C-alpha cells in the first residue's frame, strides 16, 4: 500500500491519492513516499516552433526587403545613377540659354543635358544645338528635344514662304546630320503653318527611339537673322507632342 507525505502538516498517511488533499489538514497536496517528482515539462517543442516561426518570418522580411529594394532601385536608382553619369539640370518654367542666346519656357519635368551643347560652323552661319529630355533617364527618356539656332548671314535670310520652306527642309537635314541622338527619324516635307511661335515650317513623322518608335515633330521659325529649329521625339500621343511643342516654341524669345 503506498504511503503519502503532506508537506503542509508534515504527517504521513496511507489514505489519499498522489497530489490529492491531505486527509489530516485538508490544505496540503500529498506526495507519494519513495517516488521522486518528475522533471518539469520541457519547453523545447514550443521553443523549436517559436524559433522556426521566427526564422521563417525573418526570411520573408529579408526576401520582401530585397524585392522592395530592387523595385526602388529600378524606379529611382537608375535615375539617380543617370543624374551622376550624365549631369542635367531642371528647366521647368523659364530657362535662359546663353548657348542658344534665347529664353524659353518648358512644361513640368523637362531637363537639359549639361554637356549636350554643340556648335557647328556651316556655310550659312553658326549652327548651335542643345538637348533636353523629359521622364526616365537621358538614355531612355519619355520625350527628347533637340533645340537648335542658326545664325544667318544677311544674304542668306529666309525671306518669302517658298524660300523659308526650302530652308526648313534643309534644316531637317541638318538636324538629322547633327543630332546627338543615336536614333533616327523620318519626316514628311515641311508645310507653312501658323503656330504659337508665329508662321513656322512644320513637319511630322516617326522617330525610332527607346527601342521602338514614337511621334516626331519639327518646328522651324525665324526671329530676325536667326532661325530656330526644334525636333521633339516622344512616345506620347501626337496631341500631347504638339501641345508641348506649342508651349516650348511659343515661349522662346531671343536674348
How many domains, in total, are found in the chain?
2
Share of the chain above pLDDT 90, in %: 10
pLDDT in tens, 62-101: 666 666 656 555 555 555 555 555 577 888 999 999 999 8
The CATH number of whichever domain residue 191 belongs to comes to 3.40.1000.10
> HSE on the CB side for 181, CA within 13 Å?
28
pLDDT in tens, 193-224: 899 988 888 888 887 765 567 888 888 888 77
Q: What is the mean pLDDT of the chain?
A: 75
Task: Give the list of residues 6+ apart from residue 180 with CB closer than 8 angstroms, or none.
Answer: 113, 116, 118, 129, 131, 146
Report yes or no on 109 lying in a domain. Answer: yes
CB 190 within 8 A of CB 172: yes
pLDDT of residue 214: 81
Q: Are residues 175 and 249 in the same domain?
A: yes
Q: Are residues 102 and 216 in the same domain?
A: yes
Q: Are residues 98 and 24 in the same domain?
A: no
| pTM of the predicted protein model | 0.63
The residue range of the domain holding 13 is 1-37
Q: Are residues 103 and 197 in the same domain?
A: yes
Can you tell me the distance from the alpha carbon of 76 to that of 69, in angstroms, rounded to the nearest whole number?
A: 10
Q: Are residues 97 and 180 in the same domain?
A: yes
Amino acid at each position: 500500500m503506498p504511503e503519502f507525505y503532506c508537506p503542509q502538516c508534515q504527517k504521513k498517511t496511507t489514505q489519499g491519492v498522489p497530489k490529492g488533499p491531505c486527509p489530516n489538514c485538508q490544505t496540503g497536496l500529498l506526495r507519494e513516499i519513495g517516488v521522486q517528482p518528475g522533471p518539469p515539462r520541457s519547453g523545447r517543442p514550443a521553443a523549436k516552433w517559436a524559433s522556426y516561426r521566427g526564422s521563417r518570418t525573418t526570411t520573408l522580411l529579408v526576401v520582401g526587403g530585397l524585392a522592395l529594394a530592387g523595385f526602388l532601385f529600378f524606379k529611382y536608382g537608375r535615375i539617380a545613377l543617370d543624374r551622376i553619369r550624365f549631369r542635367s539640370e531642371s528647366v521647368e518654367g523659364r530657362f535662359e540659354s546663353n548657348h542658344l542666346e534665347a529664353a524659353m519656357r518648358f512644361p513640368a519635368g523637362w531637363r537639359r543635358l549639361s554637356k549636350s551643347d554643340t556648335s557647328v560652323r556651316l556655310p550659312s552661319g553658326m549652327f548651335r544645338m542643345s538637348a533636353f529630355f523629359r521622364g526616365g533617364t537621358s538614355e531612355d527618356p519619355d520625350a527628347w528635344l533637340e533645340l537648335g539656332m542658326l545664325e544667318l548671314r544677311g544674304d542668306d535670310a529666309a525671306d518669302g514662304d517658298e524660300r523659308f520652306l526650302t530652308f526648313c527642309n534643309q534644316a531637317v537635314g541638318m538636324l538629322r546630320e547633327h543630332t546627338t541622338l543615336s536614333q533616327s527619324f523620318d519626316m514628311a516635307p515641311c508645310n507653312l503653318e501658323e503656330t504659337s511661335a508665329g508662321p513656322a515650317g512644320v513637319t511630322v513623322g516617326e522617330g525610332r527611339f527607346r527601342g521602338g518608335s514614337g511621334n516626331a515633330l519639327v518646328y522651324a521659325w525665324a526671329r530676325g537673322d536667326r532661325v530656330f529649329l526644334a525636333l521633339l521625339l516622344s512616345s506620347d500621343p501626337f496631341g500631347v507632342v504638339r501641345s508641348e511643342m506649342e508651349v516650348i516654341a511659343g515661349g522662346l524669345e531671343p536674348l
